[in-house]
A and B are shown apart, each in its own frame.
Chain A
Amino acid sequence: METNDTNTEYKPRDYSLERWIVRLLLLLFILPFVAQAQETTTLANNEGAGLLLKTATPGTYAIVPAVKSEVHITVTGPIVRTTVTQTFHNSTGRCVEGLYVYPLPELSAVDTLKMTIGSRVIVGEIREREQARKEYEQAKSEGRKAALVEQQRPNVFTTSVSSVMPDDDVVIEIAYQEMARYENGEYRLRFPMVVAKRYSPVRTTAQIAEKAVPTCCTEASHVALTVDLQPGYSVRNIASAQQVKSETLGNRHYRVTADSTTLDADHDFELSWQPDLGTNPEATVLTEKLGEETYALIMVTPPARSSVRLPRETIFIIDSSGSMEGASMQQAKAALLLALDDLKSGDKFDIIDFDSDARPLFSDSKFADASSIAEAKSFVEKITADGGTEMLKALQLAMPEHPATTSGTVRQVIFMTDGQVSNEQELFSFIHARLGESRLFTVGIGAAPNSHFMRNAARFGRGTFTYIGDVQQVQERMSELFAKLDAPVMTSIAVHSNDSIAESWPERVPDLYRGEPLVVAMRVHDANAKITLHGSIGNEAWSKELTLPPAGDTNDGIARLWGREKIESLMDRITDGNNPNGVEAAVIAVALQHHLVSQYTSLVAIDQTPQGLNTTCKAEPLPTGNATNDDANGTLPQTATPAGLLLLIGASLTAVALIAMKFVK
């Protein structure tokens, strides 16, 4: 604490008393946290990553952190593919077995696995789930070794590691894929640093005797992290809170590196980058070859600023059926009021309130001005939740056969509902048939909205689905949606190819909005196929022809992305009432070809060690002491009392009390 010289000269006593009071208050605030820390410090962090070895106490493991971790992340467009290779060393002096644990990002699954345990090689293969389970059970009943790799908990990958002989190295390589998060004009990826925990080298007693000098602390495990960034467009502001080295490798190709000398293991590694946008929309293509097929990732980037703001016509549909009663109705009304405030003069709007019946506010959209907005607000205030859910009537009003929209105007339908409907199919076909130039954006309200309906309604409607879980999120989520809706740059985008059997996802391409690149994955058979993009900017037509890059230029993850999208659309067919058996066969075929874990396929660890090698040993559990005491995995007991702290606080409090009493006498 710095003292102010002039101040001390004048009233030194006052000042020091003040200082003591501040310190005391600080201590008083810290105390509860200290007390809390004490209770939990011995608790194990089970969410950590690494090799967990079985101990004599069932369910209790000793954590072996990695000696070395290599992380290679490739970014292709918005696809983020992470390969982690970790090396562990068995220094326990015995034959051990256990588990490898890795924390995964949400909505992601490990699709590639390679394990080397001493001289054994184990490789993960995608197998049909049912068949894999049968093989596993059979192998187990025959006493053979088998391993089924399945995600038991969401977001945690585990695989068993058996027969690790003394002094064996265990090298585990896994890979998984996710999409970079996009928000506020930038893309972002995150890597959990818990994976690169500090490593404590286990020394033998002999080595300790040799050294015989106190060695402080432990060496950090070696971590090397590389991000190979090929977003398909130029980027600027490659940034990370961690200390990294970034370099430009070539045209639209960047590399970011970091290692344990600078990486802070206590904070996750995050990297963000922004598309460097030009003055016009641009289109690029990256490819990956898999078998005979070529998979193309087509990206359209918007211009930095659109010269004209297209006038909008917004139709709000608000669900006031009985199922919306309570918090959901409140959220929907709050969201709608926010939306009304966001309207600009020159924009037209209307509101349709529906339950068993649909009631429009104006029946013909009106320009947004003080009086129409005031009228709309009082209309919204009066809405109460009761009655049935006749969604079709509302959609019929919102999407008339011939909307009276002036050309060049963007027509957006914003649909706020919990999606509790029974006639999904009828609604989907209606949206499909009547969409025309309108765009449908669904906003899911309530604790458990029917997101299957809303996601697909938005897909058929070439819009997006926004989910609002509770009232606190209304402002944030709606603002995000409005910011996007405010600036459509290009509409009616279509992707064509001269390859007649090309297949692309999403089937109906959404519009291009300011700040956010658009992505389409396409499969073509002809490696020299030409791809043509069409779209309209206001009333002007736009088109661009793309040539696939030469066969040598290949990017990871595109084929898998295409496969994922394909599987998702196949799975939707079941909800759409198709025969599940037919869908299952189709999904399995795609999953096997693209090496993907799905509803019907899993990753199975197959031992590929050449025959005849004596590679197994009888694992012994580690003594419980090795896993530490009672409730703790991998921490030594708490061995200090708070006595000193308590005395200090007690003495300070007493001193302050005495000084204060003297002061007021």
Chain B
Amino acid sequence: MPTLKTATRTLAAVALLAGLTTGGEGLWIYAKAKLAQLLLEISWRSALAGEQLRPWPWADTRAIAKLTIERDGATIIVLAGASGRTMAFGPGHLDGTAMPGDIGNCVITAHRDTHFAPLRYVGPGDILTLQRPDGVTIRYRVQATRVVPKSDTSVLRQDARTRLTLITCYPFDAIRPGTPLRWVVIAQKVA
């Protein structure tokens, strides 16, 4: 049956095209996350040197800190604002929460499958550091990790302690992006 054959062939071609574009789109998300960090690293160096350069000409955010997870030595440049747009390039600092090292709760969020993928191995006792544009580095010790529903805004609470809270989606291996749970790492400033 030639018509069936032609139809199958056409469908296969369409499926191939759709498959390659969809797969490409997925790869592009990973590539963008890696690439942006390279550009951000350059911008961060300029910031430490005194004058921050835009990471790329059309950037609508800026680097505010460099996060290091001592366990595996991973370093990530943190951006201002935790919008989906910002988080495509790096972890975002939630507006309205304390700045790194300031009294209060500094909240940083990122995607579980890109920048915050290493968080799944972080546990109590681990050391996290935040370097500020003025060169000062603040050390935090992880006190607890928790899984909360996304409606639990208590983890954003501000009080007199100097804390760092990292938030990412949970479970780490979920294939769908819209899960209702969040993985929260709570760290206290080391005196």
Contact of B157 among A92, A655, A658 (CB under 8 A): A92
State whether the Cβ of A541 lies closer than 8 Å to any Cβ in chain B. no
Q: Is there contact, CB below 8 Å, between B29 and A643?
A: yes
Q: Is there contact, CB below 8 Å, between B18 and A653?
A: yes
Would A647 and B153 be within 8 Å (CB), given that A217-B181, A630-B83 are in contact?
no
Could you tell me the distance between the alpha carbons of A205 and B153 in the complex, rounded to whole angstroms? Answer: 15
Q: Which residues of B contact A627 (CB under 8 A)?
A: 153
State whether the Cβ of B16 lies closer than 8 Å to any Cβ in chain A. yes
B190 CB, nearest partner CB in chain A, Å = 13
Stretch at the interface among B6-14, B40-48, B52-60: B6-14
Q: Is there contact, CB below 8 Å, between B169 and A647?
A: no
Could you tell me the distance between the alpha carbons of A641 and B20 in the complex, rounded to whole angstroms? Answer: 18
A91 CB, nearest partner CB in chain B, Å = 7
Q: Is there contact, CB below 8 Å, between B30 and A643?
A: yes
Question: Interface 1/0s, chain B 92-129, versus A by CB < 8 A?
Answer: 10111100000011010111111010000000100000
State whether the Cβ of A638 lies closer than 8 Å to any Cβ in chain B. yes
Query: Which of B21, B87, B111, B153: most chain A Cβ within 10 A?
Result: B153
Q: Which residues of B contact A622 (CB under 8 A)?
A: 158
State whether the Cβ of B71 lies closer than 8 Å to any Cβ in chain A. no
Could you tell me the distance between the alpha carbons of A219 and B162 in the complex, rounded to whole angstroms? Answer: 27
Q: Is there contact, CB below 8 Å, between B143 and A209?
A: yes
Q: Is there contact, CB below 8 Å, between B161 and A38?
A: no
Question: Interface 1/0s, chain B 154-171, versus A by CB < 8 A?
Answer: 111111010100011100
A188-247 CB contacts (< 8 Å) to partner B: 197-198, 200-203, 205, 208-209, 211-218
Q: Which residues of B contact A433 (CB under 8 A)?
A: none
Question: Interface 1/0s, chain B 24-45, versus A by CB < 8 A?
Answer: 1111011001000000000000
B96 CB, nearest partner CB in chain A, Å = 3
Q: Which residue of B lies closest to A55 (CB)?
A: B96
State whether the Cβ of A617 lies closer than 8 Å to any Cβ in chain B. no
State whether the Cβ of B50 lies closer than 8 Å to any Cβ in chain A. no
Q: Is there contact, CB below 8 Å, between A626 and B29?
A: no
Contact of B23 among A56, A217, A642, A651 (CB under 8 A): A651
Query: Which of A625, A629, A634, A651: most chain B Cβ within 10 A?
Result: A625
Q: Is there contact, CB below 8 Å, between A636 and B25?
A: no
Question: Interface 1/0s, chain A 616-636, versus B by CB < 8 A?
Answer: 000000111111111000111
A630 CB, nearest partner CB in chain B, Å = 7
Q: Is there contact, CB below 8 Å, between B23 and A654?
A: yes
Q: Which residue of B lies closest to A91 (CB)?
A: B154
Q: Which residues of A contact B69 (CB under 8 A)?
A: none
A593-648 CB contacts (< 8 Å) to partner B: 622-630, 634-648
Question: Interface 1/0s, chain B 132-164, versus A by CB < 8 A?
Answer: 000000000001111111111111111101010
Q: Is there contact, CB below 8 Å, between B16 and A658?
A: yes
B99 CB, nearest partner CB in chain A, Å = 11
Q: Which residue of B lies closest to A658 (CB)?
A: B16
Could you tell me the distance between the alpha carbons of A24 and B175 in the complex, rounded to whole angstroms? Answer: 15
Q: Is there contact, CB below 8 Å, between A650 and B143?
A: no
Q: Which residues of B contact A625 (CB under 8 A)?
A: 94-97, 105, 107, 156, 158
A51-110 CB contacts (< 8 Å) to partner B: 56-57, 62-63, 65, 91-93
Q: Which residues of B contact A218 (CB under 8 A)?
A: 148-149, 152
Q: Which residues of A contact B94 (CB under 8 A)?
A: 625, 628-629, 637
Would A34 and B16 be within 8 Å (CB), given that A215-B146, A623-B96, A638-B84 are in contact?
no
Q: Which residues of B contact A657 (CB under 8 A)?
A: 12-16, 19
Would A208 and B186 be within 8 Å (CB), given that A657-B15, A663-B8 are in contact?
yes
A388 CB, nearest partner CB in chain B, Å = 59
Could you tell me the distance between the alpha carbons of A38 and B179 in the complex, rounded to whole angstroms? Answer: 9
State whether the Cβ of A384 lies closer than 8 Å to any Cβ in chain B. no
Q: Which residue of A lies closest to B155 (CB)?
A: A636
Could you tell me the distance between the alpha carbons of A41 and B181 in the complex, rounded to whole angstroms? Answer: 12
Q: Which residue of B lies closest to A92 (CB)?
A: B157
Q: Is there contact, CB below 8 Å, between A635 and B150?
A: yes
Number of interface residues of B (CB under 8 A): 75
State whether the Cβ of A116 lies closer than 8 Å to any Cβ in chain B. no
Contact of B152 among A57, A200, A205, A211 (CB under 8 A): A200
Contact of B113 among A200, A216, A644 (CB under 8 A): A644
State whether the Cβ of A501 lies closer than 8 Å to any Cβ in chain B. no
Could you tell me the distance between the alpha carbons of A57 and B113 in the complex, rounded to whole angstroms? Answer: 31
Q: Which residues of A contact B168 (CB under 8 A)?
A: 639-640
State whether the Cβ of A652 lies closer than 8 Å to any Cβ in chain B. yes
A319 CB, nearest partner CB in chain B, Å = 52
Would A629 and B143 be within 8 Å (CB), given that A645-B176, A647-B27 are in contact?
no
Contact of A211 among B18, B25, B144 (CB under 8 A): B144
Q: Is there contact, CB below 8 Å, between B87 and A637?
A: yes
State whether the Cβ of B80 lies closer than 8 Å to any Cβ in chain A. no
Contact of B178 among A41, A202, A208 (CB under 8 A): A41
Contact of B148 among A34, A209, A217 (CB under 8 A): A217
Q: Is there contact, CB below 8 Å, between B83 and A200?
A: no
Contact of B26 among A629, A644, A661 (CB under 8 A): A644
Q: Is there contact, CB below 8 Å, between A214 and B144?
A: yes
Could you tell me the distance between the alpha carbons of A470 and B175 in the complex, rounded to whole angstroms? Answer: 44
B177 CB, nearest partner CB in chain A, Å = 4
State whether the Cβ of A656 lies closer than 8 Å to any Cβ in chain B. yes
Query: Which of B14, B23, B104, B163: most chain A Cβ within 10 A?
Result: B23
Chain A residues within 8 Å of B, Cβ to Cβ: 24, 34, 37-38, 41, 56-57, 62-63, 65, 91-93, 197-198, 200-203, 205, 208-209, 211-218, 622-630, 634-658, 660-661, 663-664
Can you list 5 A-B contacts with CB-CB less than 8 angstroms, sorted by A residue number? A200-B151, A208-B143, A625-B156, A636-B109, A639-B116
Besides the known contacts A641-B33, A649-B19, A664-B9, 20 further A-B residue pairs in the complex with CB atoms under 8 A apart: A38-B177, A62-B153, A65-B151, A205-B161, A209-B144, A209-B188, A213-B124, A213-B144, A214-B146, A626-B158, A635-B151, A635-B153, A636-B153, A640-B111, A643-B27, A650-B21, A650-B25, A656-B19, A658-B12, A661-B12
- Give the 5 A-B CB pairs with smallest separation, nearest first: A650-B23, A653-B19, A646-B26, A624-B96, A654-B19
